[in-house]
Each structure stands twice: as C-alpha cells, then as structure tokens.
Chain A
C-alpha cells in the first residue's frame, strides 16, 4: 500500500517535473563585451541598447525561449575583454557578442577556441557583429566564431561592383586610419579597383594616425591638389567627422564613399559640413529602404530607445540566434552552432541572408546609400538633422561572395 502510494507519488512528481520543464522557457544568457566607458562608449551603448531591444522583442514573441543580455565593459582592451568574458562565463553566459575592434575580436577567437578545447561539454559561442578584419574569417577563423557583419573586403567588393557601373568616377583618393582596419581597406581598394576598373587612377593613398588628428585641412588640401573626384575612407567617429568638416570648409567638390558615415555622430557632422548628397555609406541597411516591416520596426525602435538603428546587423544576429536555438530545441552552444552552420534567414529588410559553413561569414545584400536633405513627412531623417539616407545602389549577396582561405576544425 505504502509502496504503491510512493510509486504513484513518484510518478506524479516525475510527470509534474516534466510538465514544468515543458512549460518553463529555455533561457539563454548573452554576454555583451564591448566598451561602455571612455572614447568608444557611445558606440558600445548604441550596440547594447539594440541587443536589449531585440531581446525584449523576441521574448515577447517566443514564450518558450528567454533571452537575457548583460553588458560587460571591456574598455576597448583585448586583455580586459578576456577578464570580462571569464566573469560572464562564471555567471552562466554561454554566448558572447562583441563588435568594436578587430584586435579584441582576434583575442576572443583565440580565447574561445582554447576554452572549448579544454572544457568539452561547456562550449561557448562567439557572435561577432562588427569586427570586420578579413583575417577573422580567413587565417584566424574558428568554428565557434560567427561574423554577422560583412567584412571589410566584402564591403569593398560591393563598393567596387557599384563603382564598375559609374564611369564618371575617374580619380580616387584613399584616406584611412593607420591601423589594421584602415590598412585592410586601403589594400582591398587598391587590389579590387585595379581588377574591376583598371582605368581608374588612384591619385592618393594616405594613412593618418588613429583619432589623433585635430585638423584635416592639410589632408583636404592634398586631396584637392590631386584632382580626385572620389574619396574612399574607412574612417570612423572623430576622424570621420573632422575629415568631412574640413572638406566642407574648404569647399572640396568630391564624393565620399565611407564605411562608417552613418555611425553615431556621422549624420550631424555631414549636415554641419553642408555636404548634401556627397557622402555615401556602404552598409547592410539604412532606415529608408522601401520595406514596410522594416519601417515599422525602425519607428518602434526610435520610440523606445530614442536613437536610430545603426546596427541592423544586431537585429539580424538576434533573429538568427533565436531561430537556431529554437531549431536545435536546446540552449547548448554546440547544438546552436550546428543549427547556425549554414542557416538561412531573412534580414530586417526582407532579403535572404545566409551563413557560409566554410568560414562562418554571413552574406547578405549590401546597400550603398547617400545622405542629403529629405522630406521628413515621408521618410525618416537621422539625428534630427532633417537629412536622411536614401538609396543609391544595392549589391546582391551573390555578388559579394569572396573566396576564403579558412580551414576550419569542426567538432566531431
């Protein structure tokens, strides 16, 4: 009698446990390791807000998966990043997201690779949303790293494909920051322009120290003297803003093709420099792409966070992560990585994007947009300037496929 009762109770408990397990949502802790203080703080904060907004959205949509994003301040320092990552792992995070600085990215890839070798069964996954050094998916590639931003070679491939159809571009000036990213941009620009538009003359190839220049007038004087009609630059933050201001002051009549013209503070600087329709951006999206769901999403995002979407790729990353986790029906990073390996997913702008299994690089349509006065009643402006990004060109994902040298070790 007692035995039977015990059995029934036990069975009941098991059933109860099983049912609660079914009801309780899976939970996934995501560690955001990026600068939240110092010079990179504004960029880091914009990223963190986007991640948290996405987590809220997805949690409301899928009741059986709970995403939780926590910010860890790495002060833009590779060493500090590893300390913070360890802290995050200790508090239960198995997914790390990072974007600012390819040097940090390289350190994280290295750490994650070693950690996963030494701790089988406790793997962690590194999702990179903005570190664009091509090496991270080539020489340094790793199975546990996925990149959701087009790397700088892919962006240059897209830009040069666009330039192919613009015969009015004849003389190009390259100006970049003197560190790995700037050097990668200038090398790619030289190689790809030579291949696709051998008639284009590269009239200048300049590198300036990273975030140390207060006055770009001498550089603008050189650009002007060279007779360039187009400037290509990977500059960001202050180096971008001051370059444009100096150009505006001197009355330089050239177009600027930029990687980060749309970064925080960029639109304000372009408006101040008064360069209407002269600054272009190569990116995975912009606010005024003609696609209703993206418009609604952008509007909701602006209303909630008080900033605009500068990281459409974070939206894509979170959607892919959520999709892969739900497909795998597990929060184990190993299962997620497997589900993500060759995943297809629609971007925020309703186009197909996919991860290439060979190097875990995402491919998606790349847009060239231009910044100028817009009718704010009809389309969205940026940073309350009354100017906004409008389309200049779109390059299909297929046209940005670059070969990779990655030889990936896959877990059995």
Chain B
C-alpha cells in the first residue's frame, strides 16, 4: 500500500508538472490577456518540431534556447498582423481566428515534416535513471521537466506581481484605456505577452517532444486538457493553474491505481445486488481506473457549475 501511494504520488507530481509546463503559456495568454487561443497547442507543436530540427544540427540544448525564441517571434508577428486586427471586434472573431490558425499550422507541419512521428530523442546527458523507488526507475529527464516547470512558475509569478511590466500587463487587461492614457503602449504590451506566451508553449514543446510522441497531430491530442487546467485553476491566477496541474496530475494517477467499482465496494460490504447486464451492469462494474482519464473533464464541468471563478481565480470564465 505504501509502495503504491509513494509511486502514485511521484508519478502524479511529475505528470502534473508536465501539465503545468504545457499550460503555463496558455495561462499567460488566456487568463492574463483574456484571449482564448485555440492555436496554443499548435505553437507547442511548432516548438517541438523546431526543437527537433535544430537538435539534429546542434544538439538538444541549442534547440531549447533557439526554438522558443523563434516561435515566440512568430507568435508576436501573429499578434501584430493578425490578432490585433480582429481583437477590436470582440472575442468571437478572435476565437475563430485562432481556430483557423491551428489548422493552418497543422497543415504546414504536415507538409514540412510529414505525418509520421519523428525520432526526437532525450539528450544523452539526461538519458539515465536518476533514482529508483521500489524497483521503478525515474529518468533524469523527468526531473529536468519538473525543475523547468517550477522555474517557469516562479519566474512568471515574480514577473507578474513584483515587476513594473507585470503591473502594466495586469492593468492593461482591466483598464486598457486608462493605461494608454498614462502613456503606455498597450498594443505593444499585448504583443509582448502573446509572444512570451507562445514562446513558453514552444519551451513545453521542446521539452515534452522527446518524452511524448512528436508528430503532426500532437496538438490536437493535447489541446483540451490544457483548457481544463486553466479553467479549474481559475482565470487570472497563475498559482491556481499551478495548483490545478498538480491536482489533476495526482487525481488522474491515483484513479488509475484504484481497481474499485460500485459492485466491488458493495460486495466487500456483503451486499451482492449488482445487476449483471445492460447499461446498469456496465455502470456498476466500471472501475475508477477505467474512468481515470475522464475525471479532469468531469472536474471541469463541476467547477464551472459550483465555482465559475475556478479554484483561485478572480474572474468568471
């Protein structure tokens, strides 16, 4: 039992941090800027492919630095020449714009790199088991992911709450006219935030690419769970997103290790009332492990009903 708890906790924390790594850029754009960026996962994918391409020539570490800068630049250009024009028409055109952009990016990636997964490897320097718990290895690369996640969290938190730029960003979100009156270039601030947000997505891509599968449909596979993290954590709250990532990582991991169903619980209480067939029988016998990966979405629905601001948010979704 202890073994199960320790291993599940470790796996949960590692997965949660991977989620935060991927969601951090989205938090910045979606919850700080208020732009629902459907193309976020596409920038993440671009990051992974750029990282892969660069790593083929110069190694992983150069890719880790260069790819996010390039993708962030593309993001800033997209904001400057695309999003800014549709921004004044409100949220729906914005949403449609990023929706279309996601398809464009996916097609371009398919044209350049093809539809098959590419062989993007963990760098040799991190390709060893860092430690072993109860006979299970934990690769150094996963710890590296965890460290980067925590570093990004702290850096963003400090930048947003302790620096002048952060103050202006927060003010520009709620009172753009006032901030402009005070002499700040609000559109430029938005461009910067969007660029940094997409750059962070690319960091996640470069790092998650070797750990997951780098292929042209990776954006579509990842998309939904990130919105869950941001909404459950609460709009406008970085700490919320961090907590939600951990929560979802842990809940999902523990759920998978529980082979418990309604029928088995009742049976252990000495009640043998399970219907054997039909829809009811299925519901009765489905284990928590089986529904584990669906739990975050259930959580999303419940949070929106019971607490529309999310765990730590201050705005309604």
The residues of A with any CB-CB pair to B shorter than 8 Å are: 38-39, 41-42, 45, 178, 206-209, 211-215, 217-222, 224-225, 238, 241-242, 245, 249-251, 264-265, 268-269, 271-272, 383-385
Query: Are A39 and B225 within 8 A (Cβ)?
Result: no
Number of residues in B with C-beta < 8 Å to the partner?
Answer: 46
Question: Is B7 an interface residue, CB under 8 A from the partner?
Answer: yes
B283 part of interface (Cβ distance < 8 Å):
no
Pairwise interchain contact B115-A45, C-beta atoms closer than 8 A: yes
Chain A residues whose C-beta falls within 8 Å of the C-beta of B132 in the assembled complex: 251
Given contact pairs A215-B18, A249-B139, A250-B136, A265 touches B213 in the complex (Cβ within 8 A): yes
The stretch of B177-185, B216-224, B309-317 in contact with A is B216-224
Which A residues touch B222, using CB under 8 A? Answer: 214
Inter-subunit contact A218/B253 (CB<8 Å): yes
Q: How far is the CA of A294 from the CA of B136 in the complex (A)?
A: 42
Find chain A residues with CB under 8 A from B115 CB.
Answer: 41-42, 45
Which residues of B sit under 8 angstroms from A384, Cβ to Cβ?
119
The answer to whether residues A268 and B257 also contact, given A209-B293, A242-B212 and a CB cut-off of 8 A, is no
Taking a contact as CB atoms closer than 8 A, the residue among B8, B117, B136, B256 that contacts A251 in the complex is B136
CA distance A38 to B110 in the complex (A): 10
Whether the pair A218, B294 counts as a contact (CB closer than 8 A) is no
A218 to B4, CA, bound (A): 10
- Point out the residue from A221, A241, A268 that lies within 8 Å of B11, measured CB to CB: A221
Least CB distance, B264 to chain A, in whole angstroms:
14
Chain B residue, CB-CB nearest to A238: B213
Taking a contact as CB atoms under 8 Å apart, the answer to whether A265 and B215 are in contact is yes
Overall SS of chain B's interface: helix
Are A265 and B117 closer than 8 Å at their CB atoms?
A: yes
Q: Report which residue of B7, B132, B210, B257 has the largest number of chain A beta carbons within 10 angstroms of its beta carbon.
A: B7
How far apart sit A259 and B245, CA to CA, in the bound complex (Å)? 34
Whether A218 pairs with B213 at a CB distance below 8 angstroms is no
Subset of 26 A-B contacts with CB under 8 Å? A38-B217, A38-B220, A41-B110, A42-B215, A207-B290, A208-B293, A214-B15, A214-B222, A218-B12, A221-B136, A221-B257, A222-B289, A241-B213, A242-B212, A242-B213, A245-B211, A249-B142, A250-B136, A251-B136, A251-B137, A265-B116, A265-B213, A268-B116, A268-B119, A271-B119, A384-B119
CA distance A215 to B7 in the complex (A): 14
Tell me the nearest residue of chain B to A252, going by C-beta. Answer: B136
Which of chain A's residues have a CB closer than 8 A to the CB of B213?
A: 238, 241-242, 245, 265, 269
Q: Determine if A39 and B289 form an interchain contact, defined as CB atoms under 8 angstroms apart.
A: no
* CA of A119 to CA of B115, assembled, Å: 39
Contact B256 A218 (CB under 8 A): yes
Q: Are B290 and A221 in contact (CB under 8 A)?
A: no
Contact indicator per residue, chain B 107-135, by CB within 8 Å of chain A (1) or not (0): 00010001111110110000001001001
B231 within 8 A of A: no
Nearest A residue to B119, CB-CB: A268
**Cα(A272)–Cα(B117), bound, Å:** 12
Within the assembled complex, what's the spacing in Å between the Cα atoms of A269 and B220?
A: 20
Kindly state the separation between the CA atoms of A220 and B253 in the bound complex, as whole angstroms. Answer: 11
Nearest CB on A from B122, distance (A): 8
Q: Say yes or no: A215 contacts B136, CB within 8 Å.
A: no
Determine whether the beta carbon of B8 is less than 8 Å from that of A221: yes
Inter-chain contact B221/A217, CB cutoff 8 Å: no
Contact (Cβ within 8 A) B225 A241? no
Given A42-B114, A222-B256, A249-B139, 15 extra CB contacts under 8 A: A41-B217, A209-B294, A215-B18, A217-B15, A220-B136, A221-B8, A238-B213, A238-B215, A242-B213, A249-B137, A249-B138, A251-B129, A251-B137, A264-B116, A268-B117
Q: Is the CB of A211 within 8 A of B4?
A: no
Instruction: Give Cα distance in the complex from A238 to B110, angstroms.
Output: 17
* A213 CB, min distance to chain B CBs, angstroms: 5
Give the nearest-CB partner of B215 in chain A.
Answer: A265
CB <8 Å contact, B289 and A206: yes
Residues in B with CB closer than 8 Å to A238 are 213, 215, 221
Docked CA distance A220–B114 (Å): 30
Q: Which 9 A-B pairs have the closest CB atoms?
A: A42-B115, A251-B137, A218-B256, A265-B117, A217-B11, A218-B253, A215-B15, A39-B217, A209-B293
Residue B39 CB within 8 A of the other chain: no
Are A225 and B3 in contact, with the CB atoms below 8 A? yes
In B82-127, which residues have CB < 8 Å from any A CB?
Answer: 110, 114-119, 121-122
B35 at the interface (CB under 8 A from A): no
| B238 adjacent to chain A (CB < 8 Å) | no
* Contacts known (A250-B136, A251-B129); A214 close to B256, Cβ less than 8 A: no
B211 CB to closest chain A CB (Å) equals 7
Q: Which residues of A contact B192 (CB under 8 A)?
A: none
Q: How far is the CA of A38 from the CA of B210 in the complex (A)?
A: 22
| A213 and B117 contact, CB distance less than 8 A | no
The B247-273 residues at the A interface (CB cut-off 8 A) are: 252-253, 256-257
Binary CB contact string for chain B from 1 to 41 against chain A (1 if under 8 A, 0 otherwise):
00110011001101100100000000000000000000000
Of all chain A residues, which has the CB nearest B19? A214
Give the shortest distance, in Å, between B11 (CB) and chain A (any CB). Answer: 5
Proximity string of chain B (192-208) to chain A, C-beta cutoff 8 Å, 1 when within and 0 when not = 00000000000000000
CA–CA, A217 to B142, complex, Å? 11
- Name the distance in Å between B70's Cβ and chain A's nearest Cβ: 25
In the assembled complex, the Cα of A106 lies from the Cα of B136 at a distance in Å of 43
Which residue from chain A places its CB closest to the CB of B225 in the assembled complex? A214
Please tell me if the beta carbons of A385 and B15 are within 8 angstroms of each other in the complex.
Answer: no
Q: Is the CB of B119 within 8 A of A221?
A: no
